[in-house]
């Protein structure tokens, strides 16, 4: 029964076929493969057959335990001090003893804090590097998303006027977006260079030499902020364009009405511009958040996660595991985690910004 | 307070000269209508008064102040836009209160003024709705409410009825007239619709291509149009124009002749003509009457029966069109021969030729 409808459908499927096949092979299949691999010990190349390992990969990533220790005391019962600080028993005694302390086995110190009564609590983790990567990535998102969105909005409002030559500014602000992040990151290595970098030269000149050069990417305190600053600069033009399109949907007569009613610039922004940008703002926050969570090329080009793991990121760890260490299962586990994490944040954002009656 | 004076006002957008040497005096409390075809510069003129556009040259006074360089908010004007320009994310109450909120008036004061305006515009039950839940006419009333609460010295309306359907247009028009009667504030009202102009205005300013064609009371302009443009623009259907030649000028009248009419005597209304000069005779469709011995002969093209009136579109001998509005219900079939006559004292004569 080949009626015209099914025939047309067949032609339709044939036309959609190539695109559909590519999507299945390169997007849908890998997604399910990653989920499947995360429950195995799959390696990139291995002579041994792949085995199902249950949730072991996830336990390794998220294995966390806390351990509170008493300070060491001498024969008189006084606290042993060294360099003005109490001395605590070595952690190795706990983390290497699978018999007595299976819960601490092979874990490493993530961080610790002093408690009252000469006690100290240690947070131990099976995968400290991964947790640092999560912490850095979240920090990156928390700083980059609002700053980038805010700056982009500011620029969009500046260029949203009809002045001669305004397109030149639009093009200039948009230019970094067109350049690949890899290229941008390579260029910015010159800016951030510790000896003769442009930034150090500039700061030195502006402070008449009073400011000593900083190794921006080599210092654990400045490396992540430096990467944040560059990332904001690179992406701000893209979001500016989205804001600009949102601004242009606001009718000019609303601004004129506000002007006649006597609204100040701030009041105009508050009562006209911002409410008119509501949907754009939601879109931008979701896009920026998702983009920022996939922080990778900057790290790969500029710091490789260093110094002292201060710029590890989730995606960098994912690639590092999967290809650097050939641990496809471990990399897949991280990618599944990232998927669920970003998904839940997007859902949360969607819920928070839902249309209320 | 609310008297407005425009002296030698010009406005250019780059090379385009949009408003050309406009002089208008509007008195305190007057309802003044700017009327003219689309694109003649009505909105621009209104926006110059509001302060939304800069005046290129000339002097604009509101009250006793020259306001050329004052911000819109310093001019104490309120404006109702053609697109209403009400804020979509605010409730009706917040929209009406906008100007008061901006000026940080007290809650009690805002509530009092908003309820007063809502009562006046009969929309107390709409106050908590959002604009998306309102009809076009209700949105228009919100926009008017926002203007009213501010107690401005001048109201500016830019084609406020053009987005409404015919029935609503009529009732809103009457509401605006009632509002003016109640508030007695100066109002400037822009429209391309001559019926709105005729029914609302104390004073009409007819504009064409950025120039003032005539200023005066509605019936003044209707009965004594200064030129062909005003004569043709006011009144529906439009005045009929027939080419004539001047024969002689008398004390109160000129004698003209034309191909389609015999010798006719028409009041010259202060205009002077030279014998032999080509001119245009104007006669309103309402003043034509069927007359078998009449000079205007032709055939019926279309006739529209409106019940109390019949509008006939007539093709005259040389193909010239003539409109007649007969004050009775008559049946005229297309193609039927007709003849009309008129009283020369109700006709106009213009030195211009169209
Ligand atoms: N901002 C502007 N820039 C250039 N030309 C304009 C601008 N605003 C209006 N004009 C021109 O001025 C003329 C009058 O416009 P407008 O005042 O809107 O007419 P109206 O309201 O009588 O229809 C039009 O020819 C229009 O194209
Ligand atoms: Mg207009």
Distance from CA of B87 to the nearest CA of A (A): 7
How far apart (Å, rounded) are the C-alpha atoms in residues B160 and B191?
Answer: 8
Domain hosting residue A121, numbered range: 64-125
Ligand 1 binding pocket includes B139 (Cβ within 6 Å): no
Tell me, in angstroms, the distance from the centre of ligand 2 to residue B189's CA.
11
Distance from CA of A52 to the nearest CA of B (A): 55
User: Can you give the pLDDT at residue A5?
Assistant: 59
Query: Is A357 a residue whose pLDDT tops 60?
Result: no
Residue nearest to ligand 1 atom 27, measured at CA: B39
- Report, as an integer, the average pLDDT of A208-233: 84
Closest ligand to the CA of B17: 1
Instruction: Determine if ligand 1 sits within 6 Å of the CB of residue B39.
Output: yes
At A163, is the pLDDT very low, low, confident or very high (cuts 50, 70, 90)? confident
Instruction: Return the SS3 of A238.
Output: helix
- Are A261 and B102 in contact (CB < 8 Å)? yes
Region A126-134: what's the mean pLDDT? 86
Q: Tell me what pLDDT residue A249 has.
A: 92
pLDDT at B204 over 80: yes
Report residue B103: phi and psi, to 5°: -95, 10
Task: Give the span between the Cα atoms of B34 and B208, in whole angstroms.
Answer: 10
Which carries the bigger pLDDT value, residue A139 or residue A108?
A: A139
CATH numbers and ranges of domains, chain B: 4-233 (3.40.50.300), 240-350 (2.40.50.140)
The answer to whether residue B158 scores a pLDDT higher than 70 is: yes
Which range has highest mean pLDDT (A7-16, A187-196, A211-220, B289-298)?
B289-298
> Is residue A315 a part of any domain in this protein?
yes
Residue A102 forms part of a structural domain: yes
Q: Which ligand is nearest to the CA of B211?
A: 1
Nearest residue (by CA) to ligand 1, atom 3, is: B13
Chain A residues touching residue B85 (CB < 8 angstroms): 251, 253-254, 256-257
* A248, A115: one domain: no
Residue A332 clears pLDDT 80, i.e. is over it: yes
User: Nearest chain B Cα to A276, which residue?
Assistant: B89
* Entry pTM: 0.80
Q: Is there a single domain that holds both residue A108 and residue A250?
A: no
Query: Which residue has the least CA distance to atom 26 on ligand 1?
Result: B39
- A121, A136: one domain: no
A12-66 pLDDT per residue, tens: 888 888 999 999 999 899 889 888 888 888 777 777 777 777 777 788 888 788 7
The string of DSSP codes covering A68-95 is EEEPPB-TTSPBPEETTEE----THHHH
Helix axes A278-293, A223-247, angle to 10 degrees: 150
Distance CA B299, CA B339 (A): 8
CA distance linking residue A133 with residue A139, whole number of Å: 10
ipTM of this predicted complex? Answer: 0.86
Q: In angstroms, how far apart are the furthest CA atoms of chain A?
A: 98
CA trace torsion A329, A330, A332, A338 (10° rounding): 160
- Residue B214 tokens, joined: 């005539």
Instruction: Tell me how many residue pairs between chain A and chain B have CB atoms under 8 A apart.
Output: 60
pLDDT > 70 fraction of chain A, expressed in percent and rounded: 97
Q: Is the CB of B38 under 6 A from ligand 1?
A: yes
B50 contacts in chain A (CB < 8 Å): 260
Facing B99 at nearest CB: one of A251, A261, A278: A261
pLDDT at A352 over 90: no
How close B28 comes to chain A (CA, Å)?
20
Q: Is position A94 within any domain?
A: yes
- In this structure, the answer to whether residues A70 and A195 fall within a common structural domain is no
Q: Considering its fold, how many domains does chain A have in total?
A: 2
Strand-pair category, B154-158 with B186-191: parallel
Q: First CA to last CA across chain A, in angstroms?
A: 50
* Sign for the pseudo-dihedral over CA of A27, A28, A32, A33: negative
DSSP A287-324: HHHHHHHT--HHHHHHTTT-STTTT--HHHHHHIIIII
Residue A7 pLDDT level (bands cut at 50, 70, 90): low
At residue A245, φ and ψ (nearest 5 deg) are -65, -35
At A313-330, the pLDDT tens digits run 888 988 888 888 888 888
**Domain edge (last residue) among A125, A151, A177:** A125
Element spanning B311, H or E: strand B310-316
> What's A277's domain CATH number?
1.10.3720.10
Q: Which chain A positions have a beta carbon within 8 Å of B154's beta carbon?
A: none
A247 in the same domain as A99: no
Verify that A84 and A99 share a domain, yes or no: yes
A188 with A321, same domain? yes
For the CA of B53, the closest atom of ligand 1 is 1
User: Do B270 and B278 contact (CB within 8 A), yes or no?
Assistant: no
Residue ranges of alpha helices (H) inside A198-313 are 198-206, 223-247, 252-261, 265-268, 274-276, 278-293, 297-302
Q: Which residues pair with A156 in a beta bridge?
A: none
Q: Indicate if the alpha-carbon torsion angle B322, B327, B333, B339 is positive or negative.
A: negative
- Protein residues with C-beta less than 5 angstroms from the ion ligand 2: B 43
Burial of A229-251, coded b for 16+ CB within 10 Å and e otherwise, reads bbbbebbbbbbbbbbbebbeebb
């Amino acid at each position: 029964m080949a009626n015209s409808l099914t025939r047309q459908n067949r032609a339709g499927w044939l036309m959609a076929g190539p695109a559909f096949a590519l999507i299945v092979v390169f997007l849908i299949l890998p997604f399910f493969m990653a989920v499947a691999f995360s429950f195995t010990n799959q390696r990139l190349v291995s002579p041994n057959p792949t085995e199902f390992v249950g949730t072991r990969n996830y336990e390794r990533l998220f294995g966390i335990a806390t351990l509170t220790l008493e300070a060491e005391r001498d024969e008189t019962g006084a606290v042993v001090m060294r360099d003005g600080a109490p001395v605590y028993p070595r952690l190795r005694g706990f983390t290497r003893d699978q018999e007595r302390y299976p819960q601490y086995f092979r874990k490493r110190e993530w961080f610790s804090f002093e408690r009252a009564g000469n006690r100290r609590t240690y947070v131990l983790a099976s995968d400290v590097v991964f947790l640092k990567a999560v912490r850095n990535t979240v920090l990156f998102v928390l700083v980059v998303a609002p700053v980038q969105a805010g700056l982009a909005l500011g620029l969009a409002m500046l260029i949203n006027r009809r002045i001669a030559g305004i397109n030149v500014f639009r093009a200039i602000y948009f230019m970094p977006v067109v350049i690949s992040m890899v290229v941008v990151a390579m260029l910015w290595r010159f800016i951030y260079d510790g000896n003769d970098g442009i930034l150090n030269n500039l700061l030195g000149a502006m402070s008449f030499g009073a400011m000593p050069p900083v190794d921006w990417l080599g210092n654990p305190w400045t490396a992540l902020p430096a990467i944040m600053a560059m990332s904001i600069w690179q992406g701000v033009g893209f979001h500016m364009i989205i804001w600009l399109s949102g601004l242009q949907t606001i009718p000019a007569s609303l601004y004129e009405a506000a002007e006649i009613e006597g609204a100040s610039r701030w009041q105009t922004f508050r009562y006209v511009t911002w409410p008119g940008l509501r949907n754009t703002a939601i879109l931008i926050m979701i896009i920026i958040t998702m983009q920022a969570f996939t922080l990778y090329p900057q790290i790969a080009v500029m710091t490789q996660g260093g110094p002292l793991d201060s710029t590890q990121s989730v995606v960098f760890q994912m690639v590092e595991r999967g290809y650097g260490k050939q641990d496809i299962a471990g990399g897949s586990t991280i990618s599944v985690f990232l998927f669920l994490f970003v998904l839940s944040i997007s859902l949360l954002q969607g819920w928070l910004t839902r249309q209320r009656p | 307070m609310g008297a407005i004076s425009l002296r030698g006002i010009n406005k250019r957008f780059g090379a385009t000269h949009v408003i050309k040497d406009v002089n208008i005096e509007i008195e305190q409390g007057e309802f003044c209508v700017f009327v003219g075809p689309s694109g003649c510069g009505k909105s621009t003129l209104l926006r110059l008064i509001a302060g939304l556009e800069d005046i290129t040259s000339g002097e604009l006074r509101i009250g006793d102040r020259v306001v050329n360089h004052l911000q819109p908010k310093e001019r104490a004007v309120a404006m109702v836009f053609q697109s209403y320009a009400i804020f979509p994310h605010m409730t009706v109450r917040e929209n009406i209160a906008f100007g008061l909120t901006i000026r940080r008036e007290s809650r009690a004061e805002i509530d009092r003024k908003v309820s007063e305006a809502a009562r006046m515009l009969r929309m107390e039950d709409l106050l908590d709705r959002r604009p998306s839940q309102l009809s076009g006419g209700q949105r228009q009333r919100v926009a008017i409410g926002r203007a009213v609460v501010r107690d401005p010295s001048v109201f500016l309306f830019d084609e406020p009825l053009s987005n409404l359907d015919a029935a609503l247009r009529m009732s809103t028009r009457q509401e605006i007239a009632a509002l003016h009667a109640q508030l007695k504030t100066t109002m400037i009202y822009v429209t391309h619709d001559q019926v709105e102009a005729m029914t609302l205005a104390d004073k009409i300013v007819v504009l064409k291509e950025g120039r003032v064609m005539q200023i005066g009371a509605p019936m003044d302009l209707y009965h004594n149009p200064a030129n062909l443009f005003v004569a043709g623009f006011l009144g529906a259907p439009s005045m009929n124009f027939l080419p004539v030649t001047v024969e002689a000028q008398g004390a109160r009248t000129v004698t003209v002749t034309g191909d389609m009419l015999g010798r006719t005597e028409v009041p010259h209304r202060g205009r002077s003509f030279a014998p032999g000069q080509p001119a245009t005779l104007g006669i309103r469709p309402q003043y034509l009457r069927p007359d078998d011995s009449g000079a205007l002969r032709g055939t019926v093209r279309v006739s529209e029966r409106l019940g109390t009136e019949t509008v006939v579109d007539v093709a005259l001998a040389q193909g010239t069109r003539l409109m007649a509005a007969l004050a009775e219900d008559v049946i005229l079939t297309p193609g039927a021969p007709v003849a009309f006559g008129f009283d020369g004292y109700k006709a106009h004569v213009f030195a211009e030729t169209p």
